[in-house]
Every structure is written in structure tokens, then in C-alpha cells.
Chains A and B, each alone.
Chain A
């Protein structure tokens, strides 16, 4: 796949730090993920009350996408033609375990609907799509490790076949205390070439 496209921006959330295009926008060390992500939400004026109802994976993906898309000055009143291609390793396992725990004991069998709705990883795509009115293609892939080549090929294909104008893609992994989010926006114009080398370089930033 050739590199006719560009990476216009990227965002990462790892080690209790949120960065946009390599610059730190929020950091709060020595607190657990649940407290960190809530504090970041408040600090970054995210203004989406449903955030608090999301599971941990959706909070991670939603906030990373929000930090990135807010910087794109999108019109929130109109549909935005941006596809979403996400990936991770643990799927929704973190929430699956919570649901499993609630149905383990027949004598205390009270599964939570609010937990159950997050027992699929691609639910986080829905949360982002609702806020930013994204009605384009979306996919969520499960890989053993971050797979830059697949993301490159898939997003380039979506753009080359006219399925979308831009692609928000990357890796949103969360399992217990371990988490790692890296999202980037692929566009048809720009200066940083959309290729495997740059995708990996920004992932490791």
C-alpha cells in the first residue's frame, strides 16, 4: 500500500500522562487509573456526563479521541466523515470479568445491565461516534501486539476506496491496572507521511 496519506495528529495515554502530538496535556502520577482518568476528564473540560457511566476501556478510548478531535475544530452540529479503526489485545476482558463475577454465584445472581453493555470492545467506538457525530465505517481488531502494518493497510484502503475522508485509528488496550492508548488521525492532506515507520515512531513517543 502506498503512502498517499498523512498523519495530522496523534494522542497517547500511558503512565498516567496524556500527550497530544508529543506534548504533555495532562499528568497525575501515583494514582490508580480510575482516579487518573476521572481527574483528567475534569481537568480537560470534556463535558460529557455519560463518561462516568462508561467502563474503563471506553473511558480510555473516549478521552484519547476527545483530546485529539477537540484539536481538529470539528463542527459538532454536523456529521463528520471520519472512520474509526481501533485495535487492542485484551478486547473487553476487563469488563467481561466483572460481568462474570456477578453471575458466578447462583444464590447471588444479579448481573448489572450497565456492566453487561460494555462486554464488547467496540462499544467505545459508539461513545466517540455519538459525541462527534461520526457515522462512517468502524472496526475493532484484536491482535497479540500493536500491529502498525494492519492499521496502515486498512485505513489506507478506506481512504483509497472513498469510504471516508479521514480515519481515526490506533491501539486502546486496558486490562486491570495495565493500559495504553495511542490514537492518530489519518488525512488526505498534511506533511507527516502516513507510513509504518511514522506510525511506530509516534507510538513509541
Chain B
């Protein structure tokens, strides 16, 4: 699980172009959207694509992402339970 969390942090920083945020600055329970990392709606769509591309998880309803993308902790748990690759 720790490896997955680290991988997610690295992917989020790189794929969402978070130039001002270092991987080590992201805590497992930090809120990803809103006042947390400040991700926006396009970032949410990018994360949905990342779930599909990297872990074979298809979210048919983007609203599902609201709960899944709460934090690295929640996201890693969801991926480990649903991944197909």
C-alpha cells in the first residue's frame, strides 16, 4: 500500500503539472480538491483517465470520483480493492 501511495503522489504531481508542489509535501490524508491541493474539475477528469490507464478501473459516473479522490489514503484503498491491472 505504501508503494501505491508513493506512486500516486508521483503521478499526480507529474500528470497534473503541480509545479509548485513536491511529492514529499503531500500527506496521505491531505484533501486533494478545494482548499487542499487545489485540484480542479479538469484534474478530476485526468484522475479518472489515470485510473483507467494505469489500474484498469473505469468510472462510468464522474460523480463517483468525489468520494474516491478525497485523499491519497482513500484513493489508494479504492485502487487496491478494484484494480484489474
Contact = CB atoms under 8 A, between A and B. Distances in A.
B19 interface: yes
A52 interface: yes
Nearest to B53: A110
A114 B42 contact: yes
A39 to B, nearest CB: 12
A114 B16 CA distance: 8
Interface stretch (B22-30, B44-52, B75-83): B44-52
B42 A49 contact: no
Contact of A117 (B19, B42, B49): B42
Contacts of A162: none
A49 B18 CA distance: 8
Query: Chain A's interface: helix, strand, loop or mixed, by majority?
Result: helix
B38 A49 contact: yes
A112 interface: yes
The 8 lowest CB-CB distance pairs between A and B, nearest first, are A113-B45, A52-B19, A52-B17, A110-B53, A53-B17, A114-B46, A114-B42, A113-B42
Interface residues of B, number: 13
Interface residues of A, number: 10
Contacts of A112: 46, 49
B20 interface: yes
A53 B16 contact: yes
B49 A113 contact: yes
Given A112-B46, A114-B16, 15 more contacts: A49-B20, A49-B38, A52-B17, A52-B18, A52-B20, A53-B16, A110-B49, A110-B52, A111-B49, A113-B42, A113-B45, A113-B49, A114-B17, A114-B43, A117-B42
Contacts of A49: 19-20, 38
Contacts of B17: 52-53, 114
Contacts of B18: 52
Contacts of B20: 49, 52
B62 to A, nearest CB: 10
A113 B53 contact: no
A111 B46 CA distance: 9
Contacts of A113: 42, 45-46, 49
Contacts of A38: 19
Instruction: Name, among A110, A111, A114, A117, the residue most crowded by chain B CB atoms within 10 Å (CB to CB).
Output: A114
Interface string B1-25: 0000000000000001111100000
